[in-house]
Structure formats: C-alpha cells, structure tokens
Structure 1
C-alpha cells in the first residue's frame, strides 16, 4: 500500500495496461513503419545512383561526339552541336521522372518536414514574410490594377462598350489602369520599418526626405525598374492587333498574353485559396491569396492556348480547366493527359522536353517544351509521376514568348535554349518563393538567378512573376521586388528591361515594328488609351 500511495506501479492499474498494450502491439506498428522508411530510402538512393550514372554517361557521349566531329571535319559537325540537347533530355526511371542536371539534389519529404520543424522551434512561423497586420498597408504596397478589358477583347474581333467596361471595373472594385494607389509609405507603420531594413541591407540608396513632414519615407518600388515616364513625348499609339504583344499578370504564374490575335494563358489559377481542388480540407490547412485576383476568367474573353508548366496547385486548378474546357488547346507536360481526360477535356497535347507541337488554330505558331529543374505532385502518392517543363512560343521560327514555369538555375541550359530557338521577345521568369535557399535553391530561382537567365537568354524584355500572391516561403513578401532591382543594377542590365509584374496592369509591347540593331537600348513605360494601359517602348 505505501508503494501505491507513493506513485509506485499498480499491477492491474490503467497505466500498466497501456504499457502492456504498447509492448504487445508495438512490433505491428514500428516494423511496417521502419520497413516503409527503409524501403523509401533504398529506392531514393538507388534512383539517385542511376540518375548520376545517366548524367555522367550523357556527358561522356556528348564529349565523344564533339571530339569525333572535330577530328573528322565532315558534314556531321553541325549535327554534333544540335545533339548537345541530348544532355538534357527527359529521364524516367522506375516509374518516376528525375532531373538530369548536375545541380539538382534529391531531397525527400523529410527535408520539408525539417524546414517546418525549424520554423516552429525558432518561432519563425507566426509571420515570416513580414505581412502587415493592417490590410490598408498591404493594399498600398501591392496595388491591384484594372486590366484594359476592352483592349484584351478587341484581339478576338469583339468590342466592349463603355457601359460593359464600367461594369467589369465595378465588379472588381479596382483602381484605374496605370494609376498607382500611393507613391510612398511612411516609416511609422510596422511594414515600413521592415522595408527600410531591407533597403538598408540590400541597396546603397538613401531614403528620401519628405519636405512636408519630419518622417522619412521610402519610395514605392512599383514597376521596377521601368519607371512610368511622363514627359513631353506624344502619347504612344497602340499598334494594330497583329503588330503587338499584350500581357496582363494575374498573380503567381498566371499571365494572360496576346501574341497578335492568338491569346495564351499560362498556369491558370483564379481561386482565392490553395489547394482549391480539395474543399474538404479545413481552413487552417489552406493558404489564402494576400491580394485578390484582378480579373475573372470570364472577363478575359476567348482563350486560344493554355500552357501548363506542371501540376502543383499554385499552377493548375480543376475549376479553371473545367471553365475553359475544350474551347482552348492545352499544352501540358508528359503524363498529365489522363488527368485532363478524366475531367472531360480532350484537346490536350502532351510534350516532352525539346518537343515541337503546332498550334492547330493558328499554324503560324508552334509550341516548344524546354527543360526545367523542378518536380511534380498533387498528392503524396504521385510525386514525379508526371513531367514539368518550360515553354517557348514560336511564330514563324521566331521566339516570341518564354514561360519558365518553376525552375532552378542551371548554368548550361539557358544559353542552349537561346542557341536553338533564339532570344525571346518576352520572358516570364519567377522571382519569388525562394527562401530558405538551402531547401529551395534547386527548385526555385531567386531574383539574382532570374536576372542571369534573362541575360543568358538575351531576352528583349523580362517580367518577374511568381511573387506577391501566396506566402509559400520565408522571404519578406516584398523582397523579390527589392532584390530584382538590386540585381538588375549589379549585373548592369539596362534599366527598364526587366521589371516586376504589376498585378492586373495591361502592358502593350510593339512587336511588328522592325528596328535596327543597337548596342544599347533605352526602355520606358508610357500611358496610353487615357491611362487604361501602358506601352513598354524600346528606343
């Protein structure tokens, strides 16, 4: 009895019964778990071994072909250069796609769990991205713009009346196109303090002084670094439909692009929460947009082509697929066609890297799938069972548009894309969701990588996307814009050639106008159509 009173074990007590159950049944729980973890580890180790063996074999064969061509000096020498793409062909083994790039590092789900556990232990999970608690501050720092709906719908041959356009604008309750909500943020709010800290550590620029106040203000970094020019130059004319490229960034990697009369939509996601396809998930397990989508799918008019880079939820949703259906041609990575067919969508073309596919509705255009370093999954059980890719849109053998999707940086790939398909008129490059680098460096490029890619592609113009939409990583929510400006200056890129996307803003690029080659171009944004859109000029 004294032993029991002192907390000693009681032979038939509840605790003893629980311990007995654990001893009895633990082998039935721990053994399958250990077998599963061990089996997965062996599978990944085997796959990584085969992946590295494949990379070495491809590199060796490429070197042998180049050596033979140099020695023989025959007609096949040119073919040896084209075969350089063999190094970056799709690699599939044991039912999964693998990244055939030396820079890639296989991670596994446990590294993701370690990242989240580290955030929990270091108390870095409450607000790692520095989002302001005051929503008005967020509205000022990431303003929404009204797309120029009338201009977008004009490309399909239809017209929008002033009344219809006013109804569209009222529906979204947005500011006028081309008009910034605010020019500066005072340092007396929480966001500005973190913004000023970022500026002081990443740029040598001094904060501006407000002559009407004792407060210091930090300039808003909208449309970086393509400053909206307000000079004595005449208001630019909008080129004819066939002589212009028009793009409107709608958040994340969803961009509405018109290449003449052909309308392209990239990675369509219009829902407010992720994952949008699984409504059964509790609210706390979903991620909401930090700013609303600036337009509905219906307000954008007819879509001719949809480019889907991979199947992650922030790049593809069922609702948009069902809404567009077979009214557009879908170009998707290998392995995704069955998923679309199950939704009743059949105008789907699957593509492997380096594949060409014609646009059936306009044969002057072709789609080229190009390599990307990433991964795919919609559930824990289908990881890398489908491919991931970037795209080039070709018009009469000219590279008009490059859509990178999600990718890490590879030093040899992007010069190869330029060599085979030319420099794109417009490059859509991700600049966000890149911290922590130890975990995400092989999956997502950061702003510095994006600038390097734009230069290696020799892109005529580049737009930074994949930022300011959902908080999916650890960097400050405005860091992509700040770092983009800093790296444009660091790599001495022409001011205005690479800008951060402005959500909802419609931008027109003259396309058909032939210009003489120059060593140095000047870029400028100018308002047109009474401020409803901007014209991105190159002079």
Structure 2
C-alpha cells in the first residue's frame, strides 16, 4: 500500500520537473504559472523578490572581481610604499649623520688651523653629498620631500579655485604684466645704442682644487666684513651689465661682449599641451630672435629651467658652451648635445676669449633637488653660478634654492663682496610648509642681498607659470615693498618681461 503511494508521488514529482515554465506576459517576473499535465491546475507563485539565477551569478562574479582587484591594488600599493618609506627614512638618517660628521670635522679644523678656517670649512661642510647613488642636500635647514608629500600637495591643488588669481581678460593681464621687445644691449632707459660685438670663447678648462683655493683667497681679501651692500667702492666707469628677463629664470646677459643665457625656457607648456602647466604671460621674443649666446648656464634639469626646444636649438652650435651641473651628461648625450661641460660644487671653469679676456664661472651650492621625472630624481646635481672677472664678482645666478643661513655669507667670503648683479628667485613659495626647503621668499631675497653684499638684485622665477599657491603678482609686490622699506628699492626689484636693464 505504502509502496503504491510512494510511486504515485514520485511520478508526480517527475512530471512537475518535466513541466515547462511560462512567464506571464502581463507581469513579467511578477508571477510564474506551473502547468500540470495531470491536472489542469494553474498555480500562481508571487516571485517579485526573486532574482534570476544567471543575474545573481553575474553580480556575485563582479563583487568577487572587485574585491580581487581592490586586494591586489592594496597589496601593490603596500609593496611600493613600505620599501619607499624605509628608503626615505634611511636617506634622512644617513644625511643627518653625514651633516653632523662634517660639522664636527669643521669644529676640529677651526680649533687647529684658525687662519684657513673659512675656505677649508666651506669646502668640507658644503661639498656634494650622495646617498645610495643619488644627491642629497647637506644642509640642516633641508627637509626631504617624499612622494607622500608631493602627491598630497598635488591633491590639495585640485581643490583650489582660480589658483594664482589669473585674470580671465587678456587685456587686463597685458596691463598687469607688460611685455617689451628686447633690445639686448640697449637699456630701455637710455638713448645709446650699442653694437653686438663678438668675443668668442677660444679655450676653457676646469681649474684644479689648488687653483680654486687660490682664487678664493684673492676674493677673500675684498670682503668688507659688513652687513650693508657695498656702494662706496662702486666704479662708475666700470663695464656695464645688460640684463633682459625672458620669463621664469631665463635671462639674457651681456657683459664686456660676453653673452650669457641662464636657464633657457621658450616653450608655452612645461610638460605637454594637454597636461600643462601653460605659460600665463607672453614670450618677449622667439628663440630665433635670441642673439647667439657664448655660454648657457643651467642650474638644474627641471622643465621650467631647461626645455627641449632650447636644447635642440643650440645643441649643434659649436660657439655656444653649455655649463651644467654634475650628472646631467646622460641627459645631454641622450639628446645629442656635445658642446657642454659639467661642474660640481666649487668647481670653476676658466674661459679665455679671442680678445684676451679671462672669466671664471664657478658652480656654487644651492638647496634644491633635481629630476625631470620620478625615476631620475636627484641623479644629477643642482647649483648656482658665480661669474668673476679680474677676481671680482660680476654675476650671481641663484637658480632655485631655499635659504641657508650661513651659505651665502660663505660664498661672499670666497669671492668677495659687492657682486654687481644677482638673479634671485622670489616666487613659488606657497604653501611655505611645502615649498620653504626648496624656494626662497621675498624676505629671504633681501637676506641674501645683505649676506652677500650684492649691489643690484633682480627678482626672477615668478609671473610665468602657476606652480604654487600665491597670487601671481605677490612675489613682485612683496619684494618691492620690502626693498622700499630697507631703502634699496632702486637696486632691488622685479624686472618687466623683455625690458633690457643696464647696471
């Protein structure tokens, strides 16, 4: 009896399994009709909360893939950040240890050899420093910039509105930042017109350490030991210096028929036309209009201090000599540039011209960094330059630098006070918590002017690109207000684009 009932129910179940499902047209998945061939009975089942198995399977697969990708991304991020953080800590500790070692060595030298302490201690304390094959800053004032800080600051910049305060109207911009046609060796304030005579370089060499020390000792005898910029000893009949600011730290200098171009930059974009940053002011002239320079000084390899356009334009000009920091030879050779010479800190290149003139260009320290990408960070050195003629300081090109309290005093002691003209960067200092170790502000420009007893200062490295948070005219306004307060407004100011100044 019970077997008959069991067989009956089993056959019923089989029939139900073989029965097709039909979805009602009116309600879609709202109900399902079970069609039984045994009995003409329709069973309506509410399935509004049902999810088709295939859709649920796809959603589960997406969730698993998302979790998988997130997991792998997290692992990859940790794989990069943990070793890098350890590397940054090691570099910081190693640098601090070397700085302390140099300080102790200088203290020992001062106590034992007092008369030579200035030159000797300067070369010991502020010589190039390398950790794991990359250059680091030997200054207690410097704080290493990690990729954590770099990208954190880039993220903050995304939320800044109208960064730099650039006026939308170009006419207003032209009024605020007038652009002049360069006259090169003719001051816009004078009626004279000087011809561009040539005095080509016929020979150059790097001085050895003993020759450099001898040069420093000659400059040392010209120090006045004071805190005021020298004026009483200025020779009114001295050879004039002509300077034309072309944007950022790019200046065209003419002195005694020697033509110098600093940190050449003639591109409208630093990285790419899409990525920017875009130039906010006009270029005073095209690169073809630049009189051929005898020397091109490059303080470091950042894109706003050296563009490929300039590199390609002058790379095959034999009469133009590039003077670059140590370690940039790979980049120059990659771009097929042959007429260059590398200088490390405190190395001097002596130049002889066809007219019998001799000039010395010395690479001096700066507190900054280098790199055209993340991968080549600090593989090459960064520097400033001092041009001397007849053992007198003529031109100081600071490049990019933070402020070091005793560095510029030491540079003055090495070359003598009364440098005729200094090109000092005065922009890109906001936010200061991020920029201070690498860029000076207008107050620090004034400090350097007094530290080195500089006769004339031009504030550069501003008003060309928006690379920091301050209002684009703020560096000029602050520097000139401070200079007026100090009583040096006529000798410390920001030039206008393309305007040729005579000193």
TM-score normalized by the length of structure 2: 0.77
Identify the residue that residue 63 of structure 1 maps to in structure 2. Answer: 107
Identify the residue that residue 324 of structure 2 maps to in structure 1. Answer: 332
Q: Residues 63 and 451 (structure 1 numbering): CA distance in 2 closer, same or farther, change over 3 Å?
A: same
Partners of 2:152 and 2:52 in 1: CA distance: 38
Partners of 2:471 and 2:185 in 1: CA distance: 35
Q: Residues 5 and 460 (structure 1 numbering): CA distance in 2 closer, same or farther, change over 3 Å?
A: same
Count of aligned residue pairs for this structure pair: 411
* Counterpart check, 1:54 vs 2:98: yes
Identify the residue that residue 108 of structure 1 maps to in structure 2. Answer: 146
Q: Residues 331 and 157 (structure 1 numbering): CA distance in 2 closer, same or farther, change over 3 Å?
A: closer
Per-residue CA distance 1:384-430 (angstroms, 9 max, x = gap): 11110000011121110000000000101000000001231100001
Partners of 1:344 and 1:410 in 2: CA distance: 36
Q: Residues 7 and 335 (structure 1 numbering): CA distance in 2 closer, same or farther, change over 3 Å?
A: farther
Partners of 2:458 and 2:293 in 1: CA distance: 21
* Counterpart check, 1:30 vs 2:30: no
- Alpha carbons 1:153, 1:300 under 8 Å: kept: no
Structure 2 regions of 5+ residues with no counterpart? Answer: 1-28, 30-45, 187-192, 200-235
Q: Residues 131 and 23 (structure 1 numbering): CA distance in 2 closer, same or farther, change over 3 Å?
A: closer
Per-residue CA distance 1:342-370 (angstroms, 9 max, x = gap): 22221211111111111254651011000
CA RMSD of aligned residues (A): 2.4
Q: Single out whichever of 1-10 and 320-329 deviates more from structure 2.
A: 1-10
- Alpha carbons 1:273, 1:288 under 8 Å: kept: yes
Partners of 1:149 and 1:88 in 2: CA distance: 36
TM-score normalized by the length of structure 1: 0.72
* Counterpart check, 1:291 vs 2:281: yes
Identify the residue that residue 351 of structure 2 maps to in structure 1. Answer: 359
Q: What secondary structure does 2:171 align onto?
A: helix
Larger Rg: 2
- Alpha carbons 2:270, 2:307 under 8 Å: kept: no
Per-residue CA distance 1:451-494 (angstroms, 9 max, x = gap): 1111111101010011111111110011011111222244x242
* Counterpart check, 1:419 vs 2:397: no
Identify the residue that residue 255 of structure 1 maps to in structure 2. Answer: 251
Tell me how far 1:33 sits from its aligned partner. 2.4
Partners of 2:194 and 2:285 in 1: CA distance: 13
Identify the residue that residue 91 of structure 1 maps to in structure 2. Answer: 129
Q: What secondary structure does 1:428 align onto?
A: strand
Q: In the alignment, which of 453, 458, 469 is matched to residue 458 of structure 1?
A: 453
Partners of 1:84 and 1:298 in 2: CA distance: 45
Identify the residue that residue 81 of structure 1 maps to in structure 2. Answer: 118
Q: Single out whichever of 463-472 and 321-330 deviates more from structure 2.
A: 321-330
- Alpha carbons 1:10, 1:16 under 8 Å: kept: no
Q: Residues 6 and 406 (structure 1 numbering): CA distance in 2 closer, same or farther, change over 3 Å?
A: farther
Tell me how far 1:23 sits from its aligned partner. 4.2
Partners of 2:382 and 2:466 in 1: CA distance: 22
Q: What secondary structure does 1:5 align onto?
A: coil
Partners of 1:290 and 1:388 in 2: CA distance: 26
* Counterpart check, 1:432 vs 2:427: yes
Tell me how far 1:4 sits from its aligned partner. 7.9
Partners of 2:278 and 2:185 in 1: CA distance: 29
Tell me how far 1:434 sits from its aligned partner. 1.0
Q: What secondary structure does 2:259 align onto?
A: strand
- Alpha carbons 2:134, 2:379 under 8 Å: kept: yes
- Alpha carbons 1:331, 1:348 under 8 Å: kept: yes
Partners of 1:102 and 1:322 in 2: CA distance: 38
